[in-house]
A and B are shown apart, each in its own frame.
Chain A
Amino acid sequence: MTDATAEIGDTARAAPEDTLIGCPICDAVYRLSPETAAEATRCARCGYRLTLGRSTAITRVVAIAATNVALMMIVIFLPFLDLQAGTFESRASVLEVVVGFSSGIMVPLAFAVIAFILVLPILRFLFLIYALGPILAGAGNLPNAKGALRWAFKLKPWAMAEIFMIGVAVALIKLADLASVATGPAFWVFGLVVLLNAYQDSFMCRHTLWTALQDNKR
C-alpha cells in the first residue's frame, strides 16, 4: 500500500499517460503514473483507498457474481430451516420468510425484508455481470452499462445477506427451547454466498472497473 503522495502540484514532470484521480471523500486530486495506478494507493489526506491494485478485478468480480446468482437460485427454492415441535413440523425456504410477515400492515415490511436479503443482492450481481461481462467476452458495452455499474456500487449498503445470516443465528438460539431446528441445504449455500460476496468486495476497485468500462470499445 502506497500513499498517493504524487500530488498534482509537485509534479512538474507530468507525463501524458498519467491519470488524474480525485478522492470522493475529501476532494484531493492526484496525478498517478500508470504503474502507481495499478498498485494499491491511499489518499494522503483522508486515507480513502483510491485504488485497490487488483489487476484481475474484472475477471474475479464477474466470476463471483455469476456464481452467486446461480447459488441464490438454489437458496430460493431449497428449504432453509426445518423446525420440529412435537408433531408439528415446519420447513421454510427463504421466500417463505415473507409469508410469516405478509398480513395487514406487515406487507410492506415483508417486501423490504425480501428486497434486502434476496432482490437487492441478486440485482447487484446481475448489474455487475451486465456491465463487466461484455469486457471479458471481448464484446462492446451493452446499453446503459454505466448505469448498471453505478447502481452495483450504490446498492451495496442495502444488500444485507450477511446481516440476515447473523439474524438466523440469533433466531436459532431463541427457538432452542421451543423446538428442534435443523439447517437445510439453502442455509449453507446462503452462507457460501455471503463469504463469496465478502471476497468479491476486495476486488471492487472503482478505478480499475470504471477505467476498464471506459476503455472497452462500444
Chain B
Amino acid sequence: MGEPLIYEICRAGRKAVHLPDVDVPESPLPQDALRGELPLPEVSEIDLVRHYTRLSQLNHSIDTGFYPLGSCTMKYNPKVNEYAARMAGLANLHPLQDMDSIQGAMALMHNLQEMLAEIAGFAAVTLQPAAGAHGELTGVLIMRKYLYEKGETQRDVIIVPDSAHGTNPATTSMSGLKVVECPSAADGNVDLAALKALIAKHGDRLVGLMLTNPNTLGLFDENVAEVLQLVHEAGGLVYGDGANFNAILGIAKPGALGFDVMHYNLHKTFSTPHGGGGPGSGAVGVAAHLAEYLPGPIVARDEDGYFRWEMPAKSIGRVKAFWGNFGILVRAYTYIRMHGAAGLRAISENAVLNANYIQARLRGVYPIPHGDRTCMHEFVAQGKLDGAPTINTMDIAKRLMDYEFHPPTVYFPLIVPEAIMIEPTETESKETLDAFCDAMIQIAQEARETPELLKTAPHNSPVKRLDEVRAAKELQLCYAPGCS
C-alpha cells in the first residue's frame, strides 16, 4: 500500500497550527457572506510531517540519484543557494516596498541583468518571465511588436524547426502568429535548402525563426551563421531557445552569433532547483535594437548609483505581476558569482565532455543517429535493438529505474523514433557515468536474453508500471470527503 491521502489521515479536532486569540475589539462579521463548511484536513503536526516526508521518499531527485533527463539540465543544486534565497534581508521583502528600502535587492537584480547580458552577448535583459516557455512568449511578442512598429504588420509567420521543443510552436500560436515547420537535414543541422524555400515562400510575411542551438539532437548547428543570415536578409528576426545554454557558457555567445533575442532557463543552466516542476525563471536577453521592447519594469541604474524600476519605452507590457521570480534570481546570482568566467566555461566543457563520454561508451550498443558527430551537452540514442524486436524505449526507461537511475528524456525530440535523450551535466563524476553506461549495456543484453525483465519493469519502485492511458480516461481529479 502506498501513502494514504492527507484526507485519509485526518481526524476531526486535530490541529497542527495554533494561532493567538484576537487581541483587538471584534467587529461584526457580514453574516450574508460567511461560508458554511470549510472542508480542509485536520491533522496533527507530526502526522503532517510524516506524511510529507514519506511522500518525498517516493520521489527520485537529484539529491538521491543520477537524473540524466535530456533538455532539462538536472545538475546539482548547491545548498548555499537555498540558504541565500531564504536570508531575511532578501526573502522577507514586499515587492511594492519603497525603492529606498530595497536597494540591495535591486542591485542584485541589476548585476544579474548585466552578467546574463555579458554571458550571452546581449545588450539588455529582463528578469520578469517565469519560465522558458514564458520567455518564449515574451520573445515572440517582442519580435512582432518590433516589426509592427516598423510598419511591417503583414508579417505573421514564424519558422520552427521540426526538432524544436513543443513550447516553441505553442507559444507562437498563443501570440497569434502562424507556425511553419522546417525539416532537419540528415546531418542534424537545419535543412538549408528547405529553409531557403520557406523563406522564399513566405517572403515579407516572415516574422522570423525560432532556433534551439545547440539543437535538441544535442548538436551545434555548423551552419548557424548562414541560417541567421538567411533570416535576417529576409527581414526576419531570430529567436534563440536557450534551453541548451549549458553547453556553450564561455564557448560561444548567441548574441555575437547574431541571435536577436533568447531566453535563459535559470533553472537549467544556472542550477536553480526544478522544484517538482517549477518555479523557474526565463529571463530574456535581446540585441540593442530590441532593448526598448522588453517587458518590465526592469532595474535601471542612475548615474549616482541609485537603482530604480523602469519600464522600457516601447515595452510589450508586463508578462507577470511584480518584477520576476526574485527568489530564483538570488540563487542564479549566487551561482554565477561563485563561478566567474573561468568557472562558467569549465561548466560547459565538463558538461560536453561527460556527454561525449557516455556517447562514446554507448556507441555500437544503441543506435545513435548522429553518433558520428561530437555532441554538445547531450545526445540522442534510440531504444531499438537488433535481436530484441519487442523492446522499446519505454521498456528500457522503466528498467533503468531498477538500477536506481532516473530515465533520460524519452520520445523527444519527435524526429527521432524511440528517442532516448541523455544529458548527464557537469556535476556527475566519471564513476556515476560509468555505472550508468554499465547499466545501459546490461539492459541491452537483457533485452535480447530476458525481455520480460524489461517488459515488467520497474520492479523496485513504489508503484508498478502505470497505465497512463487508463488514468486519462478515468479522470479522478480530486478527493475531498472531509474528516471522520
Chains A and B bind each other = no
Residues of B within 8 A of A (CB): none
